[in-house]
Structure 1
Amino acid sequence: MESSKSTASQAEPVLFKMNNGPVNGTVQWSVSPDKNVQINVEASEYSKEAAILFGSAGKYTVSATSGSVTATSFVTIDTAIYHGPKDTTVIMPLTNDSLVLRPSVFGSHDSSGLVISAITRNKYNCLNNFLISQVYTYGDDYTIVYSGVGMPENCQGGKAKAQTMNHIYPVKNGSHVLKIILEGVTYTGSFTKEGNKYTFKWPYDDNVVRISPLVIQ
């Protein structure tokens, strides 16, 4: 299996490509360990290419299985956090797009926080594109602004959904307001932390910005 790099930062897209297996066989991607990992398959279940984000430092094994053939690759994620490509030449707006946010727990108990993965509904040019975002902290409350899709100068051909990860750490026990801003529209909800358990209240059912799951620990 090919990979774009063997060492990367947290939330930095790493591209993987399966070079063998049946031409039209279904490809199943997996990562071990799988905590705080987001897999973005380029086109369909048959795609032999995937962009994967890792939300925690450590060593990971990436596997792709098609029929009786399994390919593996290894990647080490360091403690730095990726903030997007420095050679971005094009930024596309998120017009008529929507987001799915997936929270997961980072750390443990009183010192725990959140890794919030986000992925677009629409696909954009460059397999190594990047969903541009910024976290703002106001006391015990948080706002995440998603402002566009960055396309680096060394664009990897193809189209893929844009994705990113944001770290909110540490988080105090209690209730917190969470605002998501997409295309200038503010969506407001909240979450409560009790030890290592986080419960989200998200009063939207239009699927423009969706959070799932709503309870994690």
Structure 2
Amino acid sequence: MTQRKIVIGIILLAFFQLVACERNDVDSTNSTDKIDTSQQEGIFVAGLTIVQEGEPVLFALENYLSPLDFQWKISPKQNVRVEKTNTVAEVYFPQSGKYTVTALDSISQDSVSLIVDVVIYEPGYNNIQILHHFDADDILSLTPITFADSTFHLEILAETKNSYKCNNNYLLFSSNKVHDTFVYNFLRVISPAGCTTENAKSKRYIYTNEPIVDGKIYNLEITFNKKNYKGSFTRNGGKYQFTWPYDDGVIFTTKTL
């Protein structure tokens, strides 16, 4: 693999998301909430979501899983090209946008999916977009979201208190999951260069990308403006409870859902 596939000298930022894939026998007694941790193996997805035009986003398998047993599916799939090299899938996206990437075990039919926001820029990065540091007095608000028909899936809307250049700016962040801890690092605000529209708050949705197990305590770590914030949350049936001891810096708009 050539250096150009993994190094983009100006703005290369690696986004890591660790999600779990079950490889256990089929259990007909439960459908969505049960995770058999005794048989659980992982799929590690390392995606570069900001890439130069013509460069791939990389997805890799972990825990010695055979890449021959897996198929990669992308939605929307129009003009998407996938190349597999050993344990790495190189996905060439035709344009910027939101894509769902699924790894499917062709033997057990277990699968795991995640949503990737892909930003593709042409050579000459400085002419395409601008990265802004957060204001020193800014506050990041987190609003948890779930849905009545799928309460085991959790989303969080992150939004700045202050406004930044251009009304279609957005938050740039990295994400990871270490055991039962979700880790999010908010890095910058991105806005198009030469934008003449009004300023706006910067926002982005966070996806946990795996079912939240009923009754289990998950840790949550947020880095914003170079400060670290730690808390936890749990789901009980269709309700969530967040333990978050901060009223400045990074705050939750509601701690119950």
- TM bucket by the smaller chain? 0.5 to 0.7
Normalized against structure 2, the TM-score is what?
0.49
> Whole-Å Cα distance in 2 between the matches of residues 115 and 91 of structure 1?
25
Contact 2:169 2:189 in 1 (8 A): yes
Please tell me the residue identity of whatever aligns with 2:231: G
Matched, 1:193 2:246: no
**5+ residue gaps, structure 2:** 1-96, 101-114, 122-127
C-alpha deviation, 1:166, in angstroms? 0.9
The 5 Å alignment of 1:39-188 reads 80=100, 81=115, 83=117, 85-87=119-121, 89-96=129-136, 97-106=138-147, 108-109=150-151, 112-153=152-193, 155=195, 157-169=197-209, 170-173=211-214, 174-188=216-230
> Whole-Å Cα distance in 2 between the matches of residues 160 and 120 of structure 1?
9
Contact 1:121 1:161 in 2 (8 A): yes
Q: Which residue of 1 aligns with 2:77?
A: none
> Whole-Å Cα distance in 2 between the matches of residues 84 and 98 of structure 1?
26
Greater strand fraction, Structure 1 or Structure 2: 1
Q: Which residue of 2 aligns with 1:25?
A: none
Contact 1:189 1:203 in 2 (8 A): yes
Q: Which residue of 2 aligns with 1:213?
A: 254
Query: Closer, same or farther in 2 for the Cα pair 1:84/1:211, shift >3 Å?
Result: farther
C-alpha deviation, 1:84, in angstroms? 5.8
Please tell me the residue identity of whatever aligns with 1:209: V
Contact 2:218 2:232 in 1 (8 A): yes
Please tell me the residue identity of whatever aligns with 2:117: H
> Whole-Å Cα distance in 2 between the matches of residues 78 and 188 of structure 1?
28
C-alpha deviation, 1:79, in angstroms? 6.6
Normalized against structure 1, the TM-score is what?
0.57
Q: Which digits, 9 at most, give the CA deviation of each residue in 1:60-107, with x for residues without a partner?
A: xxxxxxxxxxxxxxxxx9874452643452100113121111001156
C-alpha deviation, 1:119, in angstroms? 0.8
> Whole-Å Cα distance in 1 between the matches of residues 228 and 98 of structure 2?
33
C-alpha deviation, 1:155, in angstroms? 3.1
Contact 2:99 2:117 in 1 (8 A): no
> Whole-Å Cα distance in 2 between the matches of residues 127 and 85 of structure 1?
17
Segments of 4+ moved more than 4 angstroms = none
> Whole-Å Cα distance in 2 between the matches of residues 120 and 78 of structure 1?
21
**5+ residue gaps, structure 1:** 1-76
Contact 1:131 1:164 in 2 (8 A): yes
Contact 2:159 2:204 in 1 (8 A): yes
Please provide the CA RMSD for this pair: 2.3
- Aligned sequence identity (%): 29
